[in-house]
Amino acid sequence: MKTSSSQPGPLTSAHDLYGNSQRAPSIRELETRLRNEPKLSIRDFEIGPTLGTGTFGRVRQVRFKHSLSPHVFALKMLRKTEILKLNQVEHIKSEKRILAMTDHPFIVKLICSFQNSRYIYMLFEYLPGGELFSRLRKDGRFSEDVALFYASEILLALRYLHRNKIIYRDLKPENLLLNSQGHVKLADFGFAKALDANRTKTLCGTPEYLSPEIIRGQKAGYGRSADWWAFGILLYEMLVGSTNQLPPFLRQEADRNLPKDPRRNRRVPRSS
């Protein structure tokens, strides 16, 4: 999903519903409570500004109309017609299933999901910091300390997924969101897959971050190492910067948008 650069709208004042005398339920408490709720509907929400857009729909800032929770949330709204047209039913089902089973401080939290005749809705915690991509584009590149901070949190999220036999397959700055304290959270699990065996063969992901294993996947298959390749590309991008720079191993020809031979030397910044 591409995020909007506009500032959050009036929904950020939703905590005023509870005032100072009543404690608002936590995200975890709300998740538990919603399991016992009658059928949830889009009519239960006050719809705020658009946070991002994508192939299947958009993400809107929302809050509950009633007093179930004063928190602001992000509602992912996926058009069923587009999902069917692009044959992505299994990917959407897999994304929902994986997000429902994950519980980690550096992975975005899925609160619940519901649907109607036109849309599939996924309700997430709201992360006001936006994409890591936006900050990297603004700063040009990160200092070693800042890159290490983000890399450590991303590493912990990937290790958690791998220990649960899940491969992510789409690590990039656009899929990393920041919360209000500046911590990073892995988002957008459209290409994530729970591995029945140790390897899979599907060619998918973002070309700049594809590992050699994924490109050769139809024959040899690949496993969790593909995520660590993308992690290395991301770390390089944070340290070197993306302004007027191609990611490592990317061909310059637009019609040959696949990684080059990884043995080619690349410039890596020295420690200060």
Q: In 10 A of CB 76, how many CB atoms?
A: 24
Please name every residue paired with 112 in a beta bridge, in sequence order, or none if there are none: 123
Decide: 102 and 50 in contact? Cβ < 8 Å: no
Answer yes or no: 44 catalytic: no
Active site residue: 103, 170, 188, 261, which one?
Answer: 170
What are 4's two structure tokens? Answer: 């909007």
What φ, ψ does residue 95 adopt, rounded to 5°? Answer: -60, -50
Q: Which residue has the tokens 């590992």?
A: 211
Q: Smallest Cα–Cα separation from 176: which of 111, 130, 208?
A: 130
The three-state DSSP-derived secondary structure of 211-222 is CHHHHCHHHHCE
What are 161's two structure tokens? Answer: 């997924």
Cβ contacts of 188 within 8 Å, gap of 6 or more: 1, 170, 174, 175
Longest Cα separation, the chain: 62
Catalytic positions: 170
